[in-house]
Amino acid sequence: MATDVTVPTLGESITEATLGQWLKQPGETVKLDEPIASLETDKVAVEVPSPVAGVIGELVVAEGDTVSVGAVIARITEGASAPTSATPAVEDRTAVGKAEAAAPPEPAAAPAGAATPAGYGNHGEVAVGDSPTLSPSVRRAVLELHVDPSKIKGTGTDGRITKDDVLLAAKSGQASAKAPAPAAPVASAPQSSTSSTSPDRKEERVRMSRLRQTVARRLKEAQNTAAMLTTFNDVDMTAVIEARAKYKDLFEKKHGVRLGFMGFFVKAACMALKDIPSVNGSIEGDEIVYHDYCDISVAVSAPNGLVVPVIRNAQDLTVAGIEKTIGDFGKRAKDGTLKMDEMKGGTFTISNGGVFGSLMSTPIINPPQSGVLGLHRIEDRPVVRDGQVVVRPMMYLALSYDHRLIDGREAVTFLVALKNAIEDPTRILIDL
């Protein structure tokens, strides 16, 4: 008996997704609720679980196809055992930008169990028949670091390979792989193509992910809609650095998480937002919405682009609670397991470009929010203190805001309040 696998509900207002990767191929056995495919939505990657235990029979759609909620994407034969070989049902598709005149005739589709050199398939993708099941983020790490997944011992659930496993293997050099050799096409839609006019001049075309398309659209909408302006200030990080150095070991021992700078900045931002409520507000039609809570969006780097999960009611959390939440977001962003609900809402955003070495930037607001705080790298600079020139660890702060709602005076007052709290962390403790 065959059971249809359908696209699950993806969240409010999301009606379609892109099939990013098949985690199982025809002929492979699958357990109940075991992930068989990964879908890319406008916000996060969503894994599709198997509704029954059995054997994958037919893949109805190919990687890269757009699918709607409720659409059938595969069929599973219940209770069957895996055959010795199976032929994928989805036909290979020609790569975009392929040089037809120079291309040899297309070979027939290879069976799912066919061997492929060094654990790679067509277009440098991981060959399913020769390597363990890989999530999108893990597959990308494998390709970028040139490691052979078949030589990596997975530490994840059911022995699945995690991104940390790939990074460790690449660092140790024990799973290095040669560059992928030409191979017969696998049964999936290629995500990229490479063309060249000479050995030293190559070009690669990669389809934009649904997440990247959404980010691009929303950022441009923000520029077109809001009257954006950016105000700068700098902050002396001496007190926070000293507090962190003094208590980081005890903090980690008690709370199980490292003490970073974001905990201080989120708490300081909540205090400043309370004093300047317009920075925490938004415009809806001809009305201004003021929030008496602080849902802080934190920009987190993920394999497919920037994602912005939300720390709910950050004003009620301790520094430890904030650090735990951010740490969890960062880990799950890399694994591609953030949930839809964790990406919704948010009244104010903090983006820390300093971790990548940024000195100064003008961040773009995240609609319908009206403000975003940009943090930058800490570097020693000469400043004047009590009439003396001294060297202090300084950081530039940038507040981009919607000038339709927030006046320059309010923006400057917000940054000064934030600066005062960071330079004298005791203010955070006594709510001053």
Task: Tell me, rounded to whole angstroms, the distance of Cα 18 from its chain centroid.
Answer: 16
pLDDT for res 42: 65
Tell me the β-bridge partners of 185.
none
Domain 211-430 carries which CATH code?
3.30.559.10
pLDDT for res 95: 40
Angle formed at CA 339 by CA 269 and CA 137, multiple of 5 degrees: 100
pLDDT for res 97: 43
Lowest mean pLDDT among 74-88, 199-213, 398-412: 74-88
pLDDT for res 121: 39
For the chain, give every domain's residue range. 211-430
CB atoms within 10 A of CB 164: 15
Helix (H, G, I), strand (E, B) or coil at 21: strand
Catalytic residues: 403, 407
Residue 186 in contact with residue 127, Cβ under 8 Å?
yes
pTM: 0.61
Q: Which residues of 213-252 are buried (b: 16+ CB within 10 A; e: fewer)?
A: ebbeeeeeebeeebebebbebbbbbeebeeebeeeeeebe
Helix/strand/coil percentages in the chain, nearest 5: 30, 25, 40
pLDDT for res 414: 97
pLDDT for res 257: 92
Measured torsion, CA atoms of residues 294, 273, 219, 212, in degrees rounded to the nearest 10: -40
Flag whether pLDDT at 319 surpasses 80.
yes
Average pLDDT of the chain, as a whole number: 80
pLDDT in tens, 186-238: 444 445 555 555 678 888 887 777 767 777 888 888 888 889 999 999 999 99
Residue 372 in contact with residue 343, Cβ under 8 Å?
no
Q: Residue 299: which of 248, 354, 255 has the closest Cα? A: 354
The Cα 40–Cα 16 span in angstroms is: 9
The Cα 251–Cα 260 span in angstroms is: 10
pLDDT in tens, 88-133: 444 444 444 444 444 444 444 434 333 333 333 333 333 333 445 6
Measured torsion, CA atoms of residues 70, 75, 79, 85, in degrees rounded to the nearest 10: -150
